Structure 1
Amino acid sequence: MLFTTSAWPTHYFSLVPIGWALQAAGHDVRITCAESQTDTIARAGLTPVPIMDGLEMTFASRLARYQRALAAGGPYQPGSILHPLTCEPLRRLANFDLAGYRAAHREANLDRMRVSCDNVVAHARAWRPDLILHDPQNVEGVLAAALTGVPAVCNLWGFVGTHETEPGLGIVTGDHSDSFPRYGLPEMTADMITRVIDPCPAGAPPMTTAERFPVRYVPYNGVGHAPDWVRAKPADGRPRVLVSWSTALSRVYGQHSYLLPTILDALSKVDAEVVLAATPADLERLGDELPSGVRVLVGCPLRLILPSCAAVVHHGGAGTTMTAVLAGVPQLALTFEAEQAMQGRRAVAGGGGFQQDGTEATAELIRDQVTALLTAPRYAEAAERLRAEALDRPTPAQLVDDLEKLVG
């Protein structure tokens, strides 16, 4: 079984339990990846094959946001778009020389993408897998499957599918390197993805035209451990509220998207135990803005802390959203991009929380909505119903049977 993954770690995380299930069933699993993913994959007990390349993901996201703003040609709020190279807010779009950047780097960037495609194709032809499993933003797996004639399955990482109709929700990025035509194939489109592994509860399906292989989402948020106090609810009887925030968001959307100080200020006035799942960079950045009384967790996977929580505040990332669903925890998703917003909306559509535009999130709004999650039973009841739906999906071990039948 050959897995191919994009260079964003959380996209790869959702593949891990499926890899474990396949290995436990006796199958040989390899994961082609970028060099930067090697240790992350190996620590999960799976076999990395670091032969892929491409643009760094936050840079690619900044460049894409800049190009969309330039193409829109409409009113532009100074500072809302970051310089793709320096991350500094742009007062004018003209302050980044897109034509000059393309002249200097476009061909080299495309060559990196072409080499990545060629490497995965060569590995697939030499190793001859029986199945290729890829994520929505990985074109190499789709290409290799088409050229070797083996079945391909796209692994969705959350509530957003391959054929969403809302603007900005095109998570299938396409082949910018023209590698499909180089190999004599039509240009890649989302319609080339004909099978998806769908980890979502039946009542909140992601949009896709592909055949669905339902599976229960099994949370994996990296390796780590939890201190003893995490395993039990607060001894003083107060509810526990978890705060988890993206470390990469501000490198794409700017400093205004770093809402941790606002969130922590809001929760300091809520009668709850507040736990911050933080990175060392978060703690350095917060400095004196970290309120007293906030319990800090560094390196603790969310799946270990969420079951003891009464609510979670986060940025709408698929991993956090889906882990909270499986824990049955009401959510407040404060989102900045279209994919995050859809993750949040679908997760709380049954009444298990709130999704808000992060640019409009004030301390008062956060405080009021978290208070509602903690005091109105209907939110916890809705989150528990969604959890029951999620648990009703086939396990990864049962998914192995479906994949084996697909291989024949």
Structure 2
Amino acid sequence: MKFLFIPGGSPATVFGLVPLARAVHNAGHEILMASTKDMMPSVTGTGVPGVAVTPHDIWRFITQDREGNAKEIPMDLESQGPFVGRWFAQMAADGLPALREISTTWRPDLVVGGSMSYAAPLLAAHLGIPYVRQAWDTDESNAQDRGAELELAPELRELGLDRLPEPDLRIEICPPSLTPPDAPPAELMRWRPGNLQRELEPWMLTRGERRRVCVTSGSRATPERNLAFLRDLVRNIAPLDVEIVVPAPESLAAGLRAELPGVRTGWIPLDVLAPTCDLVVHHAGGSTTVTSLDAGVPQLIIPEAVVFDAPANRIADYGAALVLPPGDATPERVAEACERLLSEPSFTDRARELSQEIARLPLPPEMVPRLEKLAGRDQH
């Protein structure tokens, strides 16, 4: 059978779907992953066959509407959720014609879409095939879905729909202790990182003599957007006498090395590094958050957007993290929060509890029979 996977337009969304895609492939099925042109190296670099369905990257959809007019990013929570949903939906609409064309010759039996991969339900409805929604992080996307339905009103009308179709199967990766009480019913799956690898150095595999702190802005960080954030964090944490490691794309790492001699930085696979760390300091990115949870490492989370506040606060409420809004992340407060996370054992204890909870969830290969059953139901 044929299974089409549709992530978002960032590396983390790709990496989130890769483990299930590999499991389906290893079970003997054909797979294909469709995303933006600039995501093809991330897709194919993980060993998954990929096809580009739009030449635009995510910033085109974040900053411009369908007519090319400039958009302003809202900063309040009430507006930001629907705004995020609308630009994800805009990306879906842009790629939908190419997906329909591809499906005329490579017709999938089932579509798997990420949390806000709105092209997946639209294509599935168009083809009359099952649709599976797989979460790529611990966030809930109710507000985003509402915004997406507004943006996709023309596409939904064309299909005779007034709202987004519900998935035939919803797969979540959030450990039960962090799941919101109003979350819709879903099958739980264990998080397995699917990120790009590189040749490793021995120091990456084990703890050093000093406490190790990972500082990162995720896989899509750029010098223009993230250099100052990371540089300032490193400088704030350095007085604690810890080993600081900064996983970052090479374009960003080069600038960090120039400004912060001696700091280890570059494309360091977070799934390899995280288990050797005593603390992860980051921007609240979904892949970074869940990889840290999986490794049982306390986190200092400085959300880069207000839509990340709720899932970050749930981890803090559980006792496995501290959260600092960007406006409160002064040098003194960052250093104080890091020292607390490193010195109070309860944070590590609670982080390890969540890691153990994640480890008890079904692995991606255990989901394959469910997908096979859904994909095969229209063939009999």
Question: Which TM-score bucket, shorter chain as reference?
Answer: 0.7 to 0.9
Alignment of 1:6-405 (within 5 A): 6-50=8-52, 52-53=53-54, 55-63=56-64, 66-67=71-72, 69=74, 116-163=95-142, 173-174=148-149, 176=151, 178-181=153-156, 183-189=158-164, 192-193=166-167, 195-205=169-179, 210-234=184-208, 236=209, 238-246=210-218, 258-286=228-256, 289-290=259-260, 292-294=261-263, 296-405=264-373
Tell which structure's C-alpha radius of gyration is larger. 1
Q: CA deviation at 1:352?
A: 0.8
- Which shifted more, 57-66 or 114-123? 57-66
Q: Share of identical aligned residues, percent?
A: 23
Shift in Å, 1:263: 1.0
1:11 partner amino acid:
T
Amino acid at match of 2:361: R
Change (3 A) 1:222 1:175: farther
Do the aligned residues in 2 keep the contact of 1:336 with 1:359 (CA within 8 Å)? no
How much has 1:38 moved relative to structure 2?
2.2
Q: In the TM superposition, what whole-angstrom CA distance separates every residue of 1:160-190 from its partner, at most 9, and x where no partner exists?
A: 12325xxxx559734736552463322444x
Give the deviation of 1:141 after TM superposition. Answer: 1.4
CA RMSD of aligned residues (A): 3.0
Whole-Å separation in 1 of the counterparts to 2:176 and 2:92? 36
Q: Tell me, in whole angstroms, the C-alpha distance in 2 between the residues paired with 1:368 and 1:170.
A: 37
**Paired residues of 1:250 and 1:258 also in contact (CA < 8 A):** no
Q: Which shows bigger deviation, 382-391 or 155-164?
A: 155-164
Residue 5 of structure 1 corresponds to 7
Q: Aligned partner of 2:215: which letter?
A: V
Q: TM-score, normalised by structure 1?
A: 0.79
CA 1:274 to 1:42, structure 2 compared with 1: closer, same or farther past 3 Å? Answer: same
Please identify, of 57-66 and 215-224, the stretch whose mean Cα deviation from structure 2 is larger.
57-66
Count, aligned residues: 359
Distance verdict in 2 for CA 1:71–1:366, change over 3 Å? closer
Q: Is the 8 A contact 1:161 1:207 kept in 2?
A: no
- TM-score when scaled to structure 2? 0.84
**Quick one: structure 1 residues 71 and 37, their matched pair in 2 at CA, closer, same or farther if it must change by over 3 Å?**
closer
CA distance in 2, matches of 1:275, 1:39: 24
- How far apart in 1 are the matches of 2:342 and 2:76? 44
Task: Deviation per CA, 1:201-229: give whole Å up to 9, x if none.
Answer: 11112577644121000012222232101
In the aligned structure 2, how far is the partner of 1:206 from the partner of 1:221?
A: 27
Asked whether the 8 Å contact 2:93–2:155 carries over to 1, the reply is no
> What letter corresponds to residue 244 of structure 1 in structure 2?
T
Distance 1:70 1:293, change over 3 A: closer
Taking the aligned partners of 1:387 and 1:152, their CA distance within structure 2 comes to 29
Structure 2: distance between partners of 1:222 and 1:206: 30
The 1-side partners of 2:75 and 2:348 are apart by 43
Over 3 Å counting, the alpha-carbon distance change for 1:69 and 1:209 in structure 2 is closer
> Do the aligned residues in 1 keep the contact of 2:320 with 2:347 (CA within 8 Å)?
yes
Give, in angstroms, the shift of residue 392 of structure 1: 1.0
339 and 225 in structure 1: CA distance in 2 versus 1, 3 angstrom threshold? farther
| Secondary structure at the counterpart of residue 348 of structure 1 | helix
Higher helix proportion (structure 1 or 2)? 2
Q: Distance in 2 between matches of 1:381 and 1:401?
A: 35
Structure 2: unaligned runs, 5 residues or longer: 78-88
Task: Name the SS of the counterpart of 2:240 in structure 1.
Answer: coil
Distance (whole Å) between structure 2 residues aligned to residue 286 and residue 321 of structure 1: 22
Distance in 2 (CA, whole Å) between partners of 1:115 and 1:63 is: 13
CA distance 1:363–1:352, change in 2 (3 Å) = same
- Provide the rounded CA distance (Å) in 2 between the counterparts of 1:171 and 1:45: 34
Mapped partners of 1:396, 1:363: distance in 2: 41
5+ residue gaps, structure 1: 73-108
For 1:214, give the aligned amino acid: L
- Aligned partner letter, 1:180: E
Q: 1:365 to 1:37 in 2, by over 3 A?
A: same
Helix, strand or coil: the match of 2:142? coil
